[in-house]
Homo-oligomer: A and B are copies of this chain.
Amino acid sequence: MRITMDENATVNTAGEVLALIRDGRARTRAELVRLTGLSRATVSQRVESLLGGGFVYEAGEAPSTGGRPPQTLAFNSDAGVVLVADLDVTHARLAVADLSGSLLAESTGEIDIADGPDRVISWMLEGFEALLDRVSRGSASVRGIGIGVPGPVEYSAGRAVSPPIMPGWDGVAIPALVQKVHPVPVLVDNDVNIMALGEYWTNWRDRVDDLLFVKVGTGIGSGLVMHGRIYRGQNGAAGDMGHIRVPSAGSVVCRCGNVGCLEAVASGAALATELRAMGVDAQGVRDVAREATGGNTQAIRMIREAGRQIGEVLAGAVNLLNPGAIVLGGDVALAAAELVAGVREAVYERSTVLATNDLRVQTSELNERAGVTGAAVMIIESILLPVAVDEAIRTS
C-alpha cells in the first residue's frame, strides 16, 4: 500500500538538481525549490550534499530581491566523469559521461560475450582508456562505472546469475574485475533494465510511473520500471518475457526445452532462421535488420507477425501490470515500424479497456543509446545520493 505519498509526485533526484544547475536553469536554492517542487529543506540538503562532494560550487552572490542576497550555484565541470558500458551478445557500446548524465564521448565495438569475463572486461577497460584520452581526462577523474550485461544479475553484488547466453560468466562478480583498474563504485545490471531506466529517465518520468521496456534483439527481454524504479523480482529474473508461451505459436521447440516460447518464434534469431530458410544470407539479428531497412518485403512481413506475437504476450502483461507505457527497443524494433504496429494490433485486441485507456506503445527514442544512458543514470544517482533512505519508505 502507498499511503503517505502522492501517486503523481514528480520524481526529483540529486541528479536532476545537478542537471538544473549545470544547464543554468537554476542558479539559486530558491530557483531549485520553484523548479523541482521540493521543499526548501530538501533542496538545501541536496545542495549541501552536492557542495560537499565538489559537484557544484558557490559562485558568488546573486542580486538581492530584498534581504540577504542569495548565493549562486555553479556546476563544477571538473568534478569528474562516469564510465558506462552496454554489453550485448555480439556488440557493445561504451561511453564517458559527465555527472549530469550527458554523454561526452562514445565508442562501439563487435564483441562475443561468450569469450567470457576476462577477455570482455579487458576489452571494455581498454575502450574506457581510449575514451578518457579522447576527452582528455585521467583515471583519477572517474567517479563510478555502470555496466549492463545480457543476462540476469544479482544486482547488489553485480554478479551474473545463470545467464543462458553468457557462458563463463555464471557467478562472476563483475565489480571486482573492474575495480582492479578503477577503484571506484561499480554497478552492474541486466542490459534491458538499464535500457528501461534510460528511456524512463529521459522521456517518460514526468508522465508515467510505470513503464515496460521490451528489447527485441537476438533474444527478447523486458525491463520493468514500477513506481519510477527498476523492478527485479526475487531472483533478479523479472522481465524474462522470452519464454512466455504465445497462444498462436503452436509447438515450435525453443532452446529452453519448452514449446511455443515467444523467443522461439519472434526473436531476431528466429527471424534470421526463417530468412535463411527462404534463401537469404542472414546469420543474425543485424542481418534481419539490414533486410528490413533495405525493403525486403518478406522480412518486413515477418517482423509485423513477430510484433503481433510479442503483442499477444504483452496483452497479458498489460492486463496484469496496467503500465503507462510500453517502449520497444533492440535491433529488430528499431529496423521496422511494422514491429510496433503489430504489437499495437494484438495489445489493443486483447487487453482490457481500462488497462489500455491511457496506454502508449512506441519505439525507443534513445535508440541504441538507451543502454549507456541508463547505465549513466544508475551510477550517477548512486554517487550523488549515497545517504541511506529512511526505512519508512519500505512501509508504504
Contacts and interface: CB of A to CB of B under 8 A. Distances in A.
Interface stretch (A74-82, A101-109, A241-249, A327-335): A241-249
Given A322-B234, A322-B237, A391 B247 contact: no
A372 to B, nearest CB: 15
Contact of A394 (B5, B256, B386): B5
Given A245-B247, A247-B245, A319-B241, A395 B5 contact: no
A71 interface: no
A13 interface: yes
B354 A162 contact: yes
A252 B393 CA distance: 44
A353 B7 contact: no
Range for the number of chain A residues in contact with chain B: 35 or more
Contacts of A246: 247
B312 A245 contact: yes
A337 to B, nearest CB: 24
Interface in A1-51: 1-7, 9, 11-14, 38, 42
A228 B227 CA distance: 12
A358 B42 contact: no
B350 A245 contact: yes
Q: Interface residues of A: mostly helix, strand, loop or mixed?
A: loop
Interface string A363-389: 000000000000001100110011111
A315 interface: yes
A101 to B, nearest CB: 13
Nearest to A2: B229
B247 A234 contact: no
A320 B382 CA distance: 26
A263 B42 CA distance: 48
Given A234-B322, A234-B324, A241-B319, 18 more contacts: A4-B386, A4-B388, A4-B389, A6-B156, A7-B156, A9-B391, A235-B354, A235-B357, A237-B319, A240-B320, A240-B355, A244-B316, A244-B319, A245-B315, A258-B350, A320-B320, A320-B321, A387-B392
Given A7-B155, A228-B395, A319-B241, A234 B210 contact: yes
- Of A7, A258, A391, most B-chain CB atoms within 10 Å: A391
A236 interface: yes
A309 interface: no
